[in-house]
Structure 1
């Protein structure tokens, strides 16, 4: 039975966290005092092991106990030690010998090293045979363990003999496997049962908080489908991005959007992966929805510091999304009906226990819902000669196929397609009282954007210690904006006839084609080695602008057809990596890795060497100190002139003029686990960023005759802060409290007179409280409260006439101080004004209605922004009328700023039927 620490133990640990430096110094001093009594100094050439042990015994006073035959036949060796601790000396002496030791007081017992055996295999869901990612597998007596990889594979090398293997996964019942006198390698398929029938509302099993204490990983978060589903969000649409926004270090950007600004980074510095492959556009409706359909997702890993070497290409974070593999045994599905969208999911075996599929389709019906209202409005305005057109729709399609050849070999295919379409326009024609007129004026605007990602992969277990994955990938993002105007008046052939037509289109996009490979090698229980590489061919279309027009009358015809920009760039990106998660001792564990990246564009090749290292020191069974350093390179940029994510934002590569982005980040912190129920963490970080891009003053992405490279300027940034988190992952009540204290700024030689200025999303304070409670097996409630310091914006706080006069007398006699379009704006600096603080409360409730034959109905009711705070979406300058006794009219107009909020209280309801 595991030891349970009382309340005073927790108080002591809290004191350790608050006074970390003094504690560390004290621990180091204590260790030194112990080791000083048992130090070894010797230099023996080609001596027997027995002779070396005799000399150590003389110097330290310890007694070695062993069978006489144990040292027989061992080769002579040369051994040196210079004032070395006894335990370190013995560890080095026996490292390559078939001998192990155990120290008890002054007695050191030597035994023959038992034969090593390897237990390997896969951890799967018993009902569906889907792989369980990150499941804990360990030997119950020695506590030596590992975690399953993204395909459920694990490998555990142990001394032979009596072995008890324990496997656990949150939400599943743990399972034990007992082996007696095990003396050979064993392949084991572990199948875990969900812990309860209503698995959507039960969170039991071993908490992952223990893993957060024991692992070397920092700034990481594993979120399962249950947590994603339970978090209350807008329109009742579960969303992984909105869930991440409720954690420390992640700023949401603008109200209601799916933006992510991690530890002072920009929105393009986040790497989004679906089954290990990148997706470039993750937003629908300007970010109100993300592109990740929760019905298709099994789980997600999130990293914001201490990045493993297998990830590269972005500066700030990695979001690795895992799609459902599909049930190998039975057919199951679900249908969700929400206020503005619907969702269908179906999975099952194509060949039982051999081939499976999972398919999910999500579509909005905003266009269907808005059609009646638009028809009524057009009927009202028809008599005035106006007809309006408007339509918006999006869809997401996810498909996953899996085929098992045998216990070693598996093939999979993964597909994602998401598209948005936004159309609008109007037609003006003669009204009833203008029956004698003959004209028609028509405008039309359409915007389409979307992703397609497809990958085929093969996994193979070469032996019980080596697992490999090979995959080919295709991904494409495109955006097209097209606008037309068509104006006709009179009848063709008549003297007053004319016709004008103009069309402009803007395209941007990126396409990737490549291969990836990765390997997991576990030679012994203390080493988990990963290595591999990838190669991608990029095709960029950073800017395409085309315009055409004609002007036609009875006596005149003019035509224009001009292409202003049509850049097409090819880039080649390659990377190789290796990392080793190494347990140096029961207390000390290190993950050290190196990534070498390469990018070739326009005949120039950039290379980047990216060292990564994470360190864990286990101070207590439930308390650890961690530190990490990581360097990241980024070779693509998202250029945007808007404060929200828009499809007109352009992905662009580095060029001869624009160098790769580079970041260095150091982190350190403490992690504590209390009774397997609560986890506590405090983590500080400092990050620098180089070669960040911004538009020069006066330039945007809109079409111009200036090459897109010349619109941009490069600078640097930095961010630092501390993050605190308390998390409860098991029991009837779960959730977390997270607080972040952070600073983020920028410096560009060509902007803001070269002075530092705050980043737009430099939110000094950020607090999130998320609670989920299971009232009964059929009812679950949830609440989430968020607070953040306001965003920064650039405002003109002063403006002038060209002649320096402060006022302007309007034609009707009103005296107007200069504001808005009436003056020349003066900007004191970039991001010189901070908006009011942001806060809101969201509530949700789920009601489960069991049906016959294991089917389930789920009602989800949520309220977004319960107290309807109109948090600022934007701010603009306007004029306000005020009383003025000195004015002839008794009043005058003064400039004021007004914030605009677009998200009031939003209730929503949805129904899900599972079968």
Structure 2
């Protein structure tokens, strides 16, 4: 008996000793000291450092965001303390076993899901943030707010860890407990702040490739032409976009300038440039957000072939008054926003005008024969009815006035006047957490008039008027399927005349656009997303109705937070025609709607691409595209285009053809602590085919630039000083060198060819490329803060300190069998200075 009791005692002693040893091992593993020698690294680097110092870690790389950047103080930490610090923002559990530490994401028990919805605002202003990102940490769940800041997402019952982000705003992390459907609004604070542990790795969000949000701050820091802060210039730094940075028209992927759909608060703008394209109609202080598409077009957009530039103005702060005053070399402007009734009604008003005409008047002490000025005015009123309804009233008016006396007695002069007027009334309504509704009633008017005030008094008059109504719905079925629907109707009136004084000669054309569209976002797999859409338009004009079915499809594969691949296909149609006579942005082009004789232009766009997010908020992407055009218009080569318009027989002077464009685009952007770099390169080819030109063989399009390279660098020297450079390079422009002379077409048709003036003519258009163009701009910015939210900004620099700018006009002539080419470049080296004050 004693023997058995001794064995039992020995057995119990061994077990208790084992437990003490295990407890010591367990305690020692968690308390083991880890030395950290790097202050900023990825989560994976820190975990590797822990393993290298003897701690056995077990985790799944698929469940942890190992590429996230973390800022951590150097020093010695206990293993458990260090892991809790590194994983504090993630729903990761830490479990210690006998010889290892296990990191895992607990799997939620089967439970019902509930809808979380609301708006995402900027600070306390109640300014909605479009396309803000929402992610649920530790899961594949995520979504974006729509263009009016409204979001909806399905969350599982229990605790959820939210991460909200928006470009230029501090990332917000919040923990919420879901037990039923909930409405919750979020406010993001402007600016980026460093915490003791900062997660700064970029995330690939849904739609990141098709939606290119333009960074408006980029333009303010760069030395643009004449120092003017123009938000559209940021688009012209993108790959696939040529021209426009130093004036002139903007071409996207081989398309002509009229093939760019430009929207201001949802209203199409027919001419978005001021004189020569040096400046757009958009006041940077009044603009909130710009979306730029050059492929994978959402189905809600229609009417152009090459790009969409969707500009949204600020709504107006509901809490406080803010404003800005700018004085520049070319223009001066002012903007003010604030509440009319706090938390209920807000407004925004801005005005900009050039003042060169006043300066030249003072310097010349009178009329010097040249007068030009421009102005822009914006007004927006935002009425917050309740938490589910808002009303917006938006208005814009802008104009250019140009006059040049051709004789000392002022009896002969030429004048060019054009203007835009836009008005929209918009109503947003949240019908349910899943259903969002937007209705818009809009009016727009574009008018231009070319006057030759000599003895003949020739005048060319064009006016385009649009009245439209849109209804758009978005419905979230669940986290994997979202649908967008819309119906639209628009009445368009084109008026044109060779002589505006003769009302009987005014050509009046009416058309009706009836449109319907749908887009469907489907998550086939967590990494594989599909957008499938269809746009339908019935275009009704005199004697003809066109039906256009335009499928739009995009497939996106996101391998992880760094790598994304995508492919898209889209059909676009354009029922509006414009032929630009020269490279300048002057509104004296031919404009007409589609008719029975002028079928709509069409394009088919294919693209594939790859996007890689780099450390330190950087990314690099590459795209390949192919675009096919049909029903393009151009003037017959052997005729005078302007005289044809004034004579009223422009239809006889137009021919129809087709074309294609293909190319590769590369973009790179990265922000470091004190340095910001962005660069783009485009290699493309655009060819036209017209049966009546070049014997039906393909020839180069007039805007076939082939090579385009842009790079912009900004260096932050201190909190007050920054300097920047902007370098651009492009292949030379194409011109047509004459080969022989032909009589004017009108005289040939009338049988009086022997008395006709002759015009030099070449068998192949655009047969000569001018030398390459390049330019280097440098600039500096000095900022001073006076009080809270009050800031002064002095910017100065030099345009074209080095380079050869693109000419504004090129003349080619044939004399004694020798070709002479003359380029007109108004300026090369041009300094600028400007000052801004904001409060």
Normalised by the length of structure 1, the TM-score is 0.75
Q: CA deviation at 1:797?
A: 5.0
In structure 2, the residue matched to 1:471 is 440
Cα contact 2:219–2:234 (8 A) shared by 1: yes
In structure 1, the residue matched to 2:223 is 232
Q: CA deviation at 1:483?
A: 2.9
Q: CA deviation at 1:724?
A: 0.9
In structure 1, the residue matched to 2:185 is 189
* d(CA) in 2 for partners of 1:394, 1:739: 33
* d(CA) in 1 for partners of 2:208, 2:323: 36
* d(CA) in 2 for partners of 1:509, 1:113: 63
Cα contact 1:793–1:832 (8 A) shared by 2: yes
Cα contact 1:874–1:901 (8 A) shared by 2: yes
Cα contact 2:732–2:770 (8 A) shared by 1: yes
Q: CA deviation at 1:672?
A: 0.9
Q: Give the alignment partner of residue 361 of structure 2, picking from 347, 357, 371.
A: 371
RMSD: 2.7
Moved more, 417-426 or 463-472: 417-426
* d(CA) in 1 for partners of 2:336, 2:113: 45
Cα contact 2:679–2:712 (8 A) shared by 1: yes
Q: Is structure 2 residue 738 aligned with structure 1 residue 784?
A: no
Q: CA deviation at 1:190?
A: 0.3
Query: Per-residue displacement from partner, 1:153-181 (whole Å, max 9, x unpaired)?
Result: 1111122111122211122112222123x
Q: Give the alignment partner of residue 210 of structure 1, picking from 197, 203, 215.
A: 203
* d(CA) in 2 for partners of 1:679, 1:792: 34
Q: Give the alignment partner of residue 605 of structure 1, picking from 515, 536, 545.
A: 545
SS at match of 1:840: strand
SS at match of 2:185: strand
In structure 2, the residue matched to 1:317 is 307
In structure 2, the residue matched to 1:153 is 150
Cα contact 1:216–1:591 (8 A) shared by 2: no
SS at match of 1:410: strand
Q: CA deviation at 1:713?
A: 1.2
Cα contact 1:768–1:785 (8 A) shared by 2: yes
Cα contact 1:545–1:563 (8 A) shared by 2: no
Q: 1:654 to 1:132 in 2, by over 3 A?
A: same
Q: CA deviation at 1:799?
A: 6.8
Q: 1:306 to 1:758 in 2, by over 3 A?
A: same
Q: CA deviation at 1:628?
A: 0.6
5 Å-filtered alignment, 1:399-478, equals: 399-425=379-405, 428=408, 442-478=411-447
In structure 2, the residue matched to 1:242 is 233
Query: Per-residue displacement from partner, 1:669-710 (whole Å, max 9, x unpaired)?
Result: 111112352211111011101001111231414344453322
In structure 2, the residue matched to 1:816 is none
* d(CA) in 1 for partners of 2:758, 2:484: 62
5 Å-filtered alignment, 1:198-597, equals: 210-211=203-204, 214-216=205-207, 218=209, 220-252=211-243, 256-375=246-365, 388-425=368-405, 428=408, 442-485=411-454, 502-541=456-495, 543-546=496-499, 565-597=505-537
* d(CA) in 2 for partners of 1:400, 1:342: 20
Q: Give the alignment partner of residue 709 of structure 2, picking from 758, 764, 767.
A: 767
* d(CA) in 2 for partners of 1:791, 1:160: 62
* d(CA) in 1 for partners of 2:636, 2:793: 52
In structure 1, the residue matched to 2:6 is none
Q: 1:419 to 1:600 in 2, by over 3 A?
A: same
Q: CA deviation at 1:217?
A: 5.6
* d(CA) in 1 for partners of 2:649, 2:504: 10
Query: Per-residue displacement from partner, 1:81-120 (whole Å, max 9, x unpaired)?
Result: xxxxxxxxxxxxxxxxxxxxxxxxxxxx999742111111
Q: Give the alignment partner of residue 614 of structure 2, picking from 657, 674, 677.
A: 674
Q: CA deviation at 1:206?
A: 5.9
Cα contact 2:573–2:600 (8 A) shared by 1: yes
Q: Is structure 2 residue 825 aligned with structure 1 residue 901?
A: yes
5 Å-filtered alignment, 1:821-860, equals: 825-860=760-795
Q: CA deviation at 1:645?
A: 2.2
Query: Per-residue displacement from partner, 1:306-362 (whole Å, max 9, x unpaired)?
Result: 111111111000000010111111111111111121010000000011111111100
Q: 1:798 to 1:165 in 2, by over 3 A?
A: same
5 Å-filtered alignment, 1:135-146, equals: 135-146=132-143
Cα contact 1:865–1:905 (8 A) shared by 2: yes
Q: CA deviation at 1:286?
A: 1.9
* d(CA) in 2 for partners of 1:365, 1:417: 18
Q: CA deviation at 1:135?
A: 1.0
| Ranges in structure 2 where 5+ consecutive residues have no aligned partner | 1-39, 46-105, 745-755
Q: CA deviation at 1:137?
A: 1.1
Q: CA deviation at 1:447?
A: 2.0
Q: CA deviation at 1:729?
A: 4.5
Q: Is structure 2 residue 669 aligned with structure 1 residue 700?
A: no
Q: 1:582 to 1:276 in 2, by over 3 A?
A: same
Cα contact 1:168–1:205 (8 A) shared by 2: no
Q: Is structure 2 residue 669 aligned with structure 1 residue 727?
A: yes
In structure 1, the residue matched to 2:18 is none
Q: CA deviation at 1:502?
A: 4.1
Q: Is structure 2 residue 143 aligned with structure 1 residue 163?
A: no
Query: Per-residue displacement from partner, 1:654-680 (whole Å, max 9, x unpaired)?
Result: 000111111111111111112352211
Query: Per-residue displacement from partner, 1:221-263 (whole Å, max 9, x unpaired)?
Result: 211321232232011111122221221101116x732521111
Q: CA deviation at 1:618?
A: 2.1
Cα contact 2:241–2:252 (8 A) shared by 1: yes
Moved more, 841-850 or 682-691: 841-850
